[in-house]
Chains A and B, each alone.
Chain A
Amino acid sequence: MARVMLDVSSVYKSFSEPVLVDISLNLNGGEILGVVGPNGCGKTTLLRIMAGLELPDRGSVRRKGKVGIVFQEDRLLPWKTLWENVALGLKYHGMRGEELAKRVREYSSMVGLTDSDLSLHPRKASGGTRRKAALARALVLEPEILLLDEPFTGLDVKARTSLREALKWIWDEYGLSTVIVSHQLEELLPLADRVYVLTPKPARVAKEIDLRGMDLERRLERVKEALFHILSRSGTE
């Protein structure tokens, strides 16, 4: 279980100004890792670097397995149905026919998408349904590492609960190593094993907290305390 699935080491990234400074963190097998930090500090950039969609200016990222990523904005193709969106990756890898259909059905039902959901175009689907389709699109490729960017943002309570149950089920079943970026602590902390707290831009790792063995109240207390500490130190609120 202690196998390191993802190893981010001394990563530095700058666009017009530094965004990530000397970030080192690791994701262990079967673990759910939370990343929290102030708005605009560089969390999405960090996730894209983990996925290999962006290269760091300095430092390295080592992945011990296939990566699946779910973006903050769903990014479903609007001219395709949810079914077609979920099937995209399989199609690009040359899968066709009944084999493809079976795989799409399997992972769609795993995240709780019904056949009638799958026949919709994104604009006709609810936010929760779209988010699940984006999740299924990543899962059908059977990644060993799952990266989720703000998976609960923009969803109502019911959709959040439903998504959380789907994720829980997948973890219990597959023990997928996962990184979740989220500022919704109430959603994130019950799920996460460990949390990295980042500073305001440019992001550095301010604190690493192991949450295992704590109840939710204690988890919230510890993470909020860390966030309060870095925010008051940087003078922003």
Chain B
Amino acid sequence: MVAPVGERSGTMTQGRKEAGKGREIAFRTGRILAGLFVLAIWISASATGMLPCPAEVLAYLLSMKLEDVAPQVLKTLYNSITGFSLSFLASMVLGLLSHKLSLVKGFSEALSEIFNSTSALVWSLVLVATLGVLSPLPPILVVAAVTLPHVLTATVSALSSADPGLLEAVRSVGAKPSDEFFEVILPSSVPLLASASRVGLGTALRISVVAEAFGSSGGVGYMIIRSYNLADASGVLAWSIVLIALVLGLDQLILKPLERRAKRWLE
């Protein structure tokens, strides 16, 4: 029996749609399972008595006052964003000059390699030792140094991602090199720069707290290590959860939607 063509193709797309829906449900279930998995590890670790259980930490979190949490969160955000902006700006300048000058290209490449093989721990120790524990600069500079290799690599490839056809088209109507840069090269690089910024800012937040832990100028990292020094295990976990919420919240609510918008830019 051969079904009429229209009907057969109809059921085929229907079948494919249902398979797609099934995969989507399985995918979401997997995500929920990951959350439960982490929670299960935590509960079994707390059963040994070495960690406070989730309920204790939740109680601690609820007892925290907004006016105590907000300044530390803002401090960490400030450190991360400033540090990231520094590495972003440095990358744009180096990326642009690399385009024209082999000297700068070699310089940036080697700098990336050196920075990429230097740990955030080393940067933190060296900078805190140099600038002092009270200086607000180490977290910012550590973030800048650690994010630089990734951001620089991404910037260099973003700046060379412009369609040669579009460049030729604007040149054919009289564009100068500066017009080419601002009107084609820079706009073309928006999607790649947005992706790099999303990854870079996420990294920045996680690195910032490491550097904060070594100084005494505040921030979520400073609060984690202070709780640790006071043998306040619930405090350590509560502030860690604040950090996780910060990283996830920033990524899901702000960076991911921005990246998605930037991706549509070139269509």
A residues apposed to B, CB below 8 Å? 48, 51, 53, 68-69, 71, 73, 75-79, 88-89, 92-93, 123, 137-138, 141
Contacts and interface: CB of A to CB of B under 8 A. Distances in A.
Contacts of B174: 89, 92-93, 141
A77 B165 contact: no
A78 B265 contact: yes
Given A88-B173, A88-B175, A138-B173, A77 B267 contact: no
Given A75-B165, A75-B166, A79-B187, A123 B173 contact: no
Contacts of B179: 92
Interface of B: 165-166, 168-176, 179, 183-184, 187, 265-267
A88 B180 CA distance: 11
A69 B266 contact: no
B172 A51 contact: yes
B63 to A, nearest CB: 50
B105 to A, nearest CB: 26
Contacts of A73: 165
B97 to A, nearest CB: 24
Given A75-B165, A75-B166, A77-B187, A92 B173 contact: yes
A75 B176 CA distance: 17
Contacts of B173: 88-89, 92, 137-138, 141
Given A78-B267, A89-B174, A137-B173, A71 B165 contact: yes
B153 to A, nearest CB: 24
A53 B165 CA distance: 11
Contacts of B183: 77, 88
A78 B172 contact: no
A60 B200 CA distance: 51
12 contacts: A48-B168, A71-B169, A76-B169, A77-B166, A78-B265, A79-B187, A79-B265, A88-B170, A88-B183, A89-B173, A92-B173, A92-B179
A53 B179 CA distance: 17
Nearest to B190: A79
Given A77-B184, A93-B174, A123 B168 contact: no
Contact of A75 (B169, B265, B266): B169
A68 B166 CA distance: 15
A78 B266 contact: yes
A78 B267 CA distance: 6
Candidate in B173, B176, B265 with the most chain A CB atoms within 10 angstroms: B173
Nearest to A140: B173
A48 B164 CA distance: 14
A10 B258 CA distance: 54
B267 A53 contact: no
A77 B267 CA distance: 10
B175 A53 contact: no
A123 B267 contact: yes
Contacts of A78: 265-267
Contacts of B267: 78, 123
B166 to A, nearest CB: 6
Contacts of A93: 174
Contacts of A76: 169
Nearest to B163: A75
A51 B165 CA distance: 14
A53 B172 contact: yes
Nearest to A89: B173
B168 A75 contact: yes
Contact of A53 (B171, B176, B187, B265): B171
Contacts of A51: 172
A16 to B, nearest CB: 17
A78 B266 CA distance: 6
A201 B175 CA distance: 32
A21 B258 CA distance: 51
Given A73-B165, A77-B166, A138-B172, 12 more contacts: A68-B172, A71-B168, A76-B169, A77-B170, A77-B184, A78-B265, A78-B267, A79-B187, A79-B265, A92-B175, A92-B179, A93-B174
